[in-house]
Chains A and B, each alone.
Chain A
């Protein structure tokens, strides 16, 4: 009886700590996976040479990031199946329409992963190196807010505004889920200008 109870308690405990896959805006964030796996799970569309995406509600576009080589994107008419075996590293959610909802989305993500995100101000990785006088005239000069965190299973979560260098650009939001990618590459990606 004693042993049964012990096993019961231990089993309950283990079930509680088992990794739960994250589901964000109807998309199951699953690692490790290939492009093909993600396409089949989420019925993704494709734009050549290597853009796998899904149009979600509220003008959100989800796309995949994966390990690629230099020659993967030269043929701008290649079929979707060419890159199916690539290892998945990123789920990217781009908010194409609604702006100014950074705090709301931050709370949503914190509730999703059960942890708080760390907020910081960052500078985008632009090649343009303006003078200080010119910088003052720019709207935000590529500066953007970034919130970062990680789930218990080691999935890195980032929320950011897209860096802007033009008044024509809106301060749109992006959400990233990373895994199986070196941290320095994560930093490069979240500081990229698009």
Chain B
């Protein structure tokens, strides 16, 4: 009987302590504290320290993965693998013209300006060599100062869709079928429609550049304006479109940017967006983005993504972009 009373009193004590915890916590202890692992130090983690710490002197922790190095920059260069090419010169990051046919020196920088050939819509293959192949190399720079380079794919200029038959008829160049399928995968990943693909197959050098622009654009939207990416009709979505066009203007040139953006909105006389209003909004903001790209180029700021994002954000807050209802942003 004695032990029964003792147990009962112990239980009452436990019950009594619990409401006391709720009264004695201090709000500043609620703030999560983050500690990252230093070299040769056991991982501590993140924790919300009440009320267990107060009662028992321990800290409730939630494990965090060790942060790894992150990507700071990426660049692409294409190396021709056959002697002929339609592009005779290009500018590197220092603004110096470099020959693209020389395998050793052709640092084909992302900033192509307007060196891409202009296409005639009635004769889309005019001025484009169809027997030229390129190796596309992606260089990734990391926060710890290291970098690595990998071959993304080899592409050949062609106006035909890729064939899946490895031994069947295919264009010139080594690894042609494989390279085309990789190029097509990139095209699928950036959700291009048939009209854009027809254009991109004739201008394959724009694909990795647009792909990287997309990645950079997505990363910026994720950090600054998440709704710009998730909701096509939201006001911040105008920035996503304008920024992408400005990026493209600075990397693949005005004519290719305008061609691709027009084909993205209207393909074979069919409006591609969810509604005419959405398409009108996108068209207006795309054109505004091209205008901003032109301003950036004239100021020599095409290489500066922060400047580009600032221009776009200022355009948004100053009403240079349009919402779905046709009114100025924001």
Contacts and interface: CB of A to CB of B under 8 A. Distances in A.
B229 interface: yes
B228 A13 contact: no
Bin the interface of chain A by size.
35 or more
A49 B230 contact: yes
A171 interface: no
Contacts of A73: 218, 229-230
A168 B273 CA distance: 28
Contact of A118 (B3, B27, B34, B273): B27
Contact of B330 (A5, A9, A75, A168): A168
Contacts of B309: 127
A121 to B, nearest CB: 14
Contacts of A44: none
B292 to A, nearest CB: 13
Contacts of A118: 27-28, 30-31
A48 B282 CA distance: 14
Interface string A162-188: 000110110000000000001110001
Contacts of A114: 22
B330 A169 contact: yes
A109 interface: no
Interface string A116-134: 1110000001111100000
B32 A13 contact: no
Given A50-B229, A154-B62, A166 B330 contact: yes
Contacts of A169: 330
A144 interface: no
A48 B46 CA distance: 36
Contact of B232 (A5, A48, A63): A48
Interface in B49-66: 62, 64-65
A9 B30 CA distance: 30
Contacts of A47: 231-233
Interface string A63-93: 1010000110111110000000000000000
A150 B15 CA distance: 23
Given A16-B18, A70-B214, A76-B232, A6 B31 contact: no
Interface string B226-247: 1111111110100000000000
A88 to B, nearest CB: 14
A126 B64 contact: no
A66 B231 CA distance: 14
B299 interface: no
Given A71-B191, A114-B22, A150-B30, A194 B3 contact: no
Contacts of B272: 77
A116 B232 contact: no
Contacts of B3: 2
A187 to B, nearest CB: 9
A172 B312 CA distance: 23
Name, among A2, A49, A70, the residue most crowded by chain B CB atoms within 10 Å (CB to CB): A70
Interface stretch (B6-14, B82-90, B91-99, B139-147): B6-14
Contacts of A74: 189-191, 214
Contacts of A1: 4
B310 interface: yes
A3 to B, nearest CB: 10
A115 interface: yes
B274 interface: yes
Interface of A: 1-2, 5-6, 9-10, 13, 16, 47-51, 63, 65, 70-71, 73-77, 114-118, 125-129, 148-150, 154, 156, 165-166, 168-169, 182-184, 188-189, 192-194
Interface pairs A-B: 6 shortest CB-CB: A74-B191, A127-B309, A51-B231, A116-B27, A76-B232, A9-B11
